[in-house]
Amino acid sequence: MRALSHTHPIGVTANEENVMKHSAAKYAPVLIVFVGLVISLVGGFGVSVASAAEARDAFSFNSTDIAGFPHGKVILTGGGAYVPGTDFAHAGGHFHCTDSVLQGPLSISIKDGTPCLGGEGIRWDTAGLLPSTTLSCTGVDSEPIATTGDTTVVLTADFYRQGDGNDESFTAKMAVSDTDLAPNIPGIQTIWIQGVGCGTGIANFN
């Protein structure tokens, strides 16, 4: 039987074909690693890129005057990302009690039952994403509702003091918005902590 002859692609010389084969062999391992990386980023085979790249809302904020309840004042800054309509949220930042908080969740430490005293507090992070919550800025005002969406995020957060290590000292609800959380009281309130009150701060969402 006559042996089949090898033909080169149209317009490609034998030397050019050999160069192409050499290049393919040389870069094959790199391509394999790259494909593996892409697969891992999108969650593996069988997961569409669209579902893996589910849109996340990002936010950041800074408030130095969260107060309103009879006792306590808090500085809170930070930011993170979340997906409305899910339980995904990853956020954190700086937390500091400038005046002792003597009511609400920040008045009773999970560890020893003591309040967050003036000068205490180092950081906070996310415990969970909430769809909505009622809130009060003073403890006596009517309770508007904050709802998680594209311009507002409602969280359950863990708050930490020096000396408590990686164990949370307090857990409380909080909300951040780029619009007024409490139109029932004077001023623009964009940050809220349960049992502490509200504050006017810079908040950005995208």
pLDDT of 124-135, one tens digit each? 999 999 999 999
- Minimum mean pLDDT among 14-18, 57-61, 66-70, 104-108: which range? 14-18
Length of the chain: 206
Helix, strand, or coil (residue 204): strand
Would you state the pLDDT for residue 43?
Answer: 40
Q: What is the DSSP string of 95-129?
A: EEEEE---SSGGGS-TTTS----TT---EEEEEEE
Rounded CA gap, 203 and 30, in Å? 43
Q: Which amino acid is at 156?
A: T
Cβ within 8 Å of residue 144, ≥6 positions away: 134, 135, 181, 182, 183, 184
Q: Which amino acid is at 186?
A: P
pLDDT at 112 over 60: yes
* E-assigned strand segments in the chain: 57-68, 73-82, 89-99, 123-130, 132-134, 145-147, 152-160, 170-177, 191-193, 197-199, 202-205
pLDDT of 8-64, one tens digit each? 444 445 554 443 344 434 433 433 333 333 333 334 333 333 333 468 999 999 999
